[in-house]
Amino acid sequence: MRQIILLLGLGFLLISCAEEERCGDIIDKIAQDGRYFFIFDPNSNLFLPANGNDVDAGVPDNRLSGEVSQAIYSQFSIGEEYCQ
């Protein structure tokens, strides 16, 4: 009986620690200096923190963009939903 309670408790902890999926609709794609970005619709289901604006450095605003690998950049088109 004790093992069952322990397993149930462990299972509950693992389930409750799952990271929430972050999704957004891609409205633009930017490739710049070997870096790849998706620009997301601000009305999308985004759970991104407001990390300030890095426009001066030529990098899109972190709140509505996300840097991805070249492979992922090539897999998605404007208008598609991207989830992380």
Task: Identify the pLDDT of residue 52.
Answer: 44
Where do we find the tokens 């972050």?
Answer: 22
**Residue 10: its pLDDT value, please?**
60
pLDDT tens, residue order, the chain (84 aa) = 777 665 666 665 555 555 667 788 999 999 999 999 999 988 766 654 444 444 445 555 556 888 999 999 999 999 999 988
CB atoms near residue 4 (< 10 Å): 8
**Which residues, 6+ apart, have CB-to-CB distance to 67 below 8 Å?**
35, 36, 37
Could you tell me the residue ranges of all domains in the chain?
19-83
pLDDT at 23: 85
